[in-house]
């Protein structure tokens, strides 16, 4: 006997072979267009990813999971994003939650055990709920207005959040809030995340999401009205050396490349859609598929170049981190921006070459372009990255 308690749950390692991932991509892609039209949560795609074991791949070994590392997570998210970007975003938020808990356990034991229990039965979504209508992007600074007020038995949560991806489908919310507690310093209140089950009374959704892309992600507003949670549900975010709270979403590390991985999948989907159209399109004046023309072949080469560039940047950066090269940490934000540029360039090149068909709602390229453009909103955003990089290089 070792004295070490066995995990309460067990999750098998998924098959991450190219063939297995391609099969999941194809299954998810089969319903993507319909969910994009209806804007309903893409449960069919989520169940496909769950059956393949992809949604629990990052559960830590100490919790009975496979403990997939950043590169495997990136491959999973690229495969899911290639099928449906909205499923990819929901999966990214969940996988990064599991990866964060594996590396730095912070959830109350009972809450995380419940999330794992639910994950055995089907997709159990979790997401950090951070942005607020007045505050805007947390990465731009400022503290939330949402408050967690200390009670005799725990905390009472009140506030309104924006862009809460997952909507009513979330099993757990990780809510950024300011602590209102006896003896607290009103000038320097504690700030943390409140772990909230999605089925608690007092949670109301406001259907605000009517977006250009990621239409099925259900990134709605949510209102918390006297939501009661236990005392251990508040997890303080550590202050930096200067005494200032930093936005965890903007921190450098492997997780900062998690979301961009799904958009590499979107670019791959655009490449496939472009190639399929080019092989099938036979203008009467040409008498052969446009894929046989040098112009279209050159465009296909440009699309491929951009995707190769994005994938090489993504996995090259992760390999350096895996090897313990900490010198890349200040450069990760720039890597994210460079990948974003390549993803957008690839999809725009495909649409521009096809003209009207590429912008038609009847062709998947139009959806891929809309989804690809959403990569820009994930922190850190390009202007902030360029400014920080410039100041670092210039020493100012």
**What count of other Cβ atoms lies within 10 Å of the Cβ of residue 286?**
11
Kindly tell me if the per-residue pLDDT of 25 is higher than 80: yes
Q: How far lies 107's CA from each of 115, 190, 219, 233, in Å?
A: 10, 17, 23, 7
Tens-place pLDDT, residues 271-323: 999 999 999 999 999 999 999 999 999 999 999 999 999 999 999 999 999 99
Most confident of the ranges 103-107, 132-136, 187-191: 103-107
In angstroms, how far is CA 352 from the centroid of its own chain? 28
Mean pLDDT confidence for 229-247: 82
Chain centroid to Cα 242, Å, comes to: 29
pLDDT higher than threshold 90 for residue 268: yes
Residue 148, beta-bridge partner list: 157, 179
Q: Per residue in 77-98, pLDDT tens?
A: 999 999 999 999 999 999 999 9
Token pair for 335 = 């890597």
Q: How far apart are CA 100 and CA 193, in angstroms?
A: 13
Rounded to two decimals, what is the model's pTM?
0.94
Q: Look at 86-90, 238-242, 263-267 and tell me which has the smallest mean pLDDT.
A: 238-242
Percentage, residues of the chain above pLDDT 90? 86
Helix axes 43-51, 70-83, angle to 10 degrees: 140
């Amino acid at each position: 006997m070792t004295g070490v308690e066995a995990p309460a749950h067990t999750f098998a390692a998924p098959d991450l072979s190219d063939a297995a991932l391609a099969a999941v991509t194809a299954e998810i892609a089969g319903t993507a267009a319909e969910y994009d039209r209806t804007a309903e949560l893409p449960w069919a795609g989520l169940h496909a990813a769950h059956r393949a074991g992809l949604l629990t791949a990052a559960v830590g070994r100490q919790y009975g999971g496979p403990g997939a590392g950043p590169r495997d997570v990136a491959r999973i998210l690229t495969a899911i994003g290639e099928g449906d970007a909205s499923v990819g975003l929901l999966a990214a938020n969940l996988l990064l939650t599991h990866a964060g808990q594996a590396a730095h356990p912070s959830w109350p034991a009972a809450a995380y055990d419940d999330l794992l229990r639910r994950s055995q039965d089907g997709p159990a979504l979790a997401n950090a709920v951070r942005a607020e209508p007045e505050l805007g992007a947390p990465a731009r600074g400022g503290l939330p207005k949402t408050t967690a007020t200390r009670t005799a038995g725990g905390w009472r949560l009140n506030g309104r959040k924006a862009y809460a991806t997952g909507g009513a489908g979330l099993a757990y919310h990780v809510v950024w809030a300011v602590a209102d507690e006896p003896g607290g310093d009103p000038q320097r209140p504690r700030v943390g995340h409140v772990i909230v089950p999605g089925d608690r009374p007092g949670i109301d959704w406001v259907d605000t999401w009517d977006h250009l892309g990621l239409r099925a992600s259900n990134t709605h507003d949510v209102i918390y009205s006297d939501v009661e949670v236990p005392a251990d549900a508040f997890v303080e975010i550590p202050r930096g050396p200067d005494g200032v709270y930093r936005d965890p979403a903007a921190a450098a590390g492997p997780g900062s490349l998690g979301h961009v991985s799904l958009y590499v999948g979107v670019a791959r989907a655009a490449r496939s859609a472009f190639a399929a159209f080019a092989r099938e399109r036979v203008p009467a004046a040409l008498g052969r598929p446009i894929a046989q023309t040098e112009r279209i072949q050159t465009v296909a080469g440009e699309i491929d170049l951009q995707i190769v560039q994005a994938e090489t940047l993504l996995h090259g950066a992760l390999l350096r981190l895996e090897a313990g090269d900490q010198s890349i940490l200040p450069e990760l934000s720039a890597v994210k921006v460079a990948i974003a540029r390549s993803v957008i360039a690839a999809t725009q090149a495909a649409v521009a070459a096809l003209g009207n068909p590429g912008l038609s709602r009847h062709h998947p390229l139009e959806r891929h372009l809309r989804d690809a453009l959403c990569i820009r909103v994930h922190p850190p955003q390009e202007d902030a990255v360029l400014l920080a990089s410039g100041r670092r290089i210039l020493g100012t």
